[in-house]
Structure 1
Amino acid sequence: MKILVTGGAGFIGSAVVRLAIARGHAVVNLDALTYAACLDNVASVADNQAYAFVQADIRDRAALDRIFAAHQPDAVMHLAAESHVDRSIDGPGTFIETNVNGTFHLLEAARAYWVAQGRPAEFRFHHISTDEVYGTLGETGQFTEDTAYAPNSPYSASKAASDHLVRAWHETYGLPVVLTNCSNNYGPFHFPEKLIPVVILKALARQPIPVYGKGENVRDWLYVEDHADALLKVLQEGQIGRSYNIGGENEARNIDLVRMICAILDEKRPAAAPYADLITFVTDRPGHDLRYAIDPARIRSELGWRPSVTLEQGLEKTVQWYLDNEPWWRALQDRAGVGQRLGKTA
């Protein structure tokens, strides 16, 4: 099929683009190239005849209409979003504009195109979201697709709003949609403001490794290439109007995750002292959710999907990728906010 991928120069979006091309699909990569985007992420497919790149903003309805008309996709995979919680605390307006208003304009452009094409039954609008829309868990329990939404940050609230829009466009207008809510992603090409690349790069620079609070926050970690595989699975086989939670089945406390990364670096890039000596506890993020955990029973039972990479395997692969690709992350060090503590304005 021909897939319009929004945000395809970002972290997860580029993994989807690379995998879709590898599996024989045609891809139109629509990206505004904001601070977290990088065309190097898709350099491996840039010369492929099945790949096209269009720089555009999902808030620009006229541009979206032109792109749909010119490329006539069979499906949309909507990944374009502002996604960093700390940045949402400092500047929530951008998150509302992109994640809410941008999703609205994309839905309307997709609906107009779908109607003009005669409402083809095989058309799909796949909206990719986050488990953060569900809020926080205590020490037990897991998020299911029926968990009530209770977002606690401007970022997660904006994603929750976009989820609701997508559901409404299906119920009201009949737009054939599927939705997914994923746990924390990690892996190659992860923009260096998120936890795992921050730990790797701070350690390599022999700088303090910041850990929020006491490091007791728990996340379920999903290797990005596993996630891309699951997203294509849902696009092709998911039930219309249904949502699927995608988890890595790899829960870990932040402090344990950081220590695992330090231990891997001790083996791969030995230093005079253990990297864990650099761990520094810092003031916690406002509204920091304690724990996320996903019950993946639906996607496992209905679509037969499970993650293939354990946390130990994924972290080893990720650390090695950063060691092997220093020019990639060096080029991003001067982008706004990278390497700085954000999210303290609250």
Structure 2
Amino acid sequence: MALLENDTMTQIVKRPSSSAAPDPTRFPRAETDTSAPRNTLMAYRLKSSALESTLTRDVSSTLLHHVISFHHLCHFSPWLQILKTKDLSPEHNYLMGVHPHGILTFGAFCNFCTEATGFSKIFPGITPHLATLSWFFKIPLIREYIMAKGVCSVSEPTIDYLLSHGPGNLVGIVVGGVAEALQSVPNTTTLLLRKHKGFVRIALQRGAHLVPTFTFGENEVYDQVLFHKDSRTYKFQSYFRRTFGFYFCIFYGRGFSRDSNGLLPYPLPIVTVVGEPLPLPKIENPSQEMVDKYHTLYMDALCKLFDQHKTQHGCSETQKLIFL
């Protein structure tokens, strides 16, 4: 851990040197995508230059998923994958918990909002929506872009609407939120979940199946500068949160050249494991006891999912999920 000017005020959490060289035998795609460093800039230019002529999910999202070659994002991260453990029937609607938040939720965006890893072929008949802060829908151009990608507001009316229509809709919620993003540093598995139960209540009200997911490598693709709670910067972060509804954080990854710093994620393994759906009854006004029951079942399912796959994706046998 390297300290900056004042070790009582600011610190930057660095990744261990071993994480720069993941085991290629765990990620078969690494053997075929040897052009990843050369195509990094191309992939980001393709992404940033995509033009949307319409705003509806059915038209522009399809264009962005299939015509604008988002599969080139895989050339940026040769180990970008989505791993299915169970089929998702198009006869149901699903509320998916996305863990961890990471800095930019890069893995969930690539896997659920693009065809970079072939979501439509892995889960045929399922229409994914990734929920984000309503504040982003107030910004011109950004609003149009994320709407075209199938991103929706994390507000309860929006999620309720999607889960009451269909079937075949899947709504992904990054349960830990921006508070978890501020704790996103390499080699951590701490999730803000124990007190976050609203998504379970919505799922019960609409009878949607809960789907646990965990993205291995999400916290490793960026480095973040952390501030002490007594520092002025941290206090400004808190003020910013109260004013705008979300935190800002200072982070960096790699640049366009191999040894430079920038805003591109480090080319490390990012594997999103989609767990088995947890069927829920439809209860219009669920009691708190009922919410607590299925929230506990969800946490147990998430722990089981993590434990079953952790050693294949860079975690030790003794590493556990920590719920706060």
Could you say which TM-score interval applies, normalised by the shorter chain? 0.3 to 0.5
Higher helix share: 1
Structure number with the bigger relative contact order (C-alpha 8 A, sep ≥ 6) is 2
TM-score, with structure 1 as normaliser: 0.31
TM-score, with structure 2 as normaliser: 0.32
